[in-house]
Amino acid sequence: MSPEVLPTTTPEPGSGQARRVQLRTVDDTRAWGVRLGASLRAGDLLVLGGGLGAGKTTLTQGIAQGLQVRGPITSPTFVIARVHPSLAGGPDLVHVDAYRLDGLAELDDLDLDTSLETAVTVVEWGHGVAEQLSEDYLELTLSGHDTRTVNLVGHGLRWNAVDAAVVLDNLVSLP
Ligand SMILES: Nc1ncnc2c1ncn2[C@@H]1O[C@H](COP(=O)(O)OP(=O)(O)O)[C@@H](O)[C@H]1O
Ligand SMILES: [Mg+2]
C-alpha cells in the first residue's frame, strides 16, 4: 500500500504561517476588526476573501473604527472604491469592492497606487487582483455560518517581520 500524498502545508516563499481566529457573533467580528484596525499603518494592504455574506464588510467596519476614519462603511454596490478620511491624523482607509472589477487594469484606473503608500487599503474580493499591487499584503479569508473563521496569512516582508508576527499572534490568541 502506498502512502497517501498529503497536500503540502509549506507556505509559498515570502508567505508566513497561517493563523486563524473564530468570531462567533457580528459584534465579535466588529470588535476584532477594531483591534486589527488599530494595529495597521500607512501603506498596509488587506485582501479579504470569502463568499457573499461572509462578513467582509462587517470586518471592514471594525477596521475603520480601529483606524478612526470617517464612516459609514457600507457595501460599495455602485462604487468600486471609497476613501474614508482619517479623523485622527492617521492613514485614510481606501475600501475597495473588487467584485465587479475586471482585473488589475481597472483597479489601476482607480489611481489607487497614489494612495497605497499613505492609506490603508482594504479590498473585498481582492484575491488574484489586489495582490498584484504589492508584495506585502495581509490575506484574510472568512468562512462559516454564524461563527466565522478568519484565516490570516501575511505576505511579504511587512507581514513576516518580527513586529508583525507579534501583532498577528496577539490578534489570534487574545479573546
Ligand atoms: N460572526 C459573524 N461575523 C460577521 N457577520 C455575521 C456573523 N454572524 C452573522 N453575520 C451576518 O452575516 C452578514 C455579513 O454581511 P457582510 O459583512 O456584508 O458580508 P460580505 O461583505 O462578506 O458580503 C451580516 O448580515 C451579518 O449580520
Ligand atoms: Mg461586502
Indicate whether 55 belongs to any domain. yes
Q: Using a 6 Å cutoff on CB, does residue 21 contact ligand 1?
A: no
Question: Rounded CA gap, 51 and 144, in Å?
Answer: 10
pLDDT in tens, 105-138: 666 677 655 578 899 999 998 787 777 788 999 9
**Is 19 a member of any domain?**
no
Listed residue (109, 168, 104) closest to 132, CA to CA: 104
Closest ligand 1 atom, CA of 61? 17
Task: Please give the residue that has the higher pLDDT: either 37 or 129.
Answer: 37
CATH number (domain holding residue 134): 3.40.50.300
Please give the mean pLDDT across all residues of the chain. Answer: 86
1 found inside a domain: no
Tell whether ligand 1 has an atom less than 6 A from the beta carbon of residue 75: yes
**10 within some domain:** no
Domain count, the chain: 1
pLDDT at 75: 82
Ligand 1 atom having least distance to the Cα of 146: 8
Q: Is the CB of 12 under 6 A from ligand 1?
A: no
148 pLDDT higher than 50: yes
Least confidently predicted of 11-20, 30-39, 102-111, 119-128 = 102-111
Does the residue 91 lie in any domain? yes
At residue 8, the pLDDT reads 47
* Residue-range definition of the domain harbouring residue 141: 42-173
CA 120/CA 134 separation, integer angstroms:
12
Ligand 1, closest atom to CA 142?
22
For the whole model, what pTM was predicted? 0.89
Question: Is the minimum distance from the CB of 60 to ligand 1 under 6 angstroms?
Answer: no
Residue 135 inside a domain? The answer is yes
Q: Is residue 61 part of a domain?
A: yes
Please report the pLDDT score of residue 10 as a whole number.
52
9 found inside a domain:
no
